Amino acid sequence: MATLLDLTSAEQVGAALAAPGLLLLDVYTQSCVICRRVEPMVAAVAVRAHKLNAERHTEFTAKYDIRGVPTLLLFRDGRLIDRRSGFSTASALRDWIGAKATNEA
């Protein structure tokens, strides 16, 4: 199973957002049980995906109005195109990403 890169600095977050194409960002906390269950689902989708600790990146969570975890943010070319909260299966994530990628192209 693939693992997600944990973005630990503002520079890493900026670089991830600046990269072209789709980015799925898994916003989590260490104490969140559902977050640990959704991470392998996020890692299984065929897009670039990273994770971000909400407690360490409070400016980011405020900017994107993160009110609960897990929250999945889908970006295209650095622009937020959709978000999803709670648990999702890998197949549901693929369907969601596919629909959004097609609609936002």
pLDDT tens digits along 86-101: 999 999 999 999 999 8
User: pTM value?
Assistant: 0.94
31-55: pLDDT as tens digits: 999 999 999 999 999 789 999 999 9
Terminal alpha carbon distance of the chain: 29
53-68: pLDDT as tens digits: 999 999 999 999 999 9
Which are the contacts of 9, defined by CB distance < 8 A and separation ≥ 6? none
**Domain assignments of the chain as residue spans, ordered by start:** 5-104
pLDDT at 105: 58
The CATH superfamily label for domain 5-104 reads Glutaredoxin (3.40.30.10)
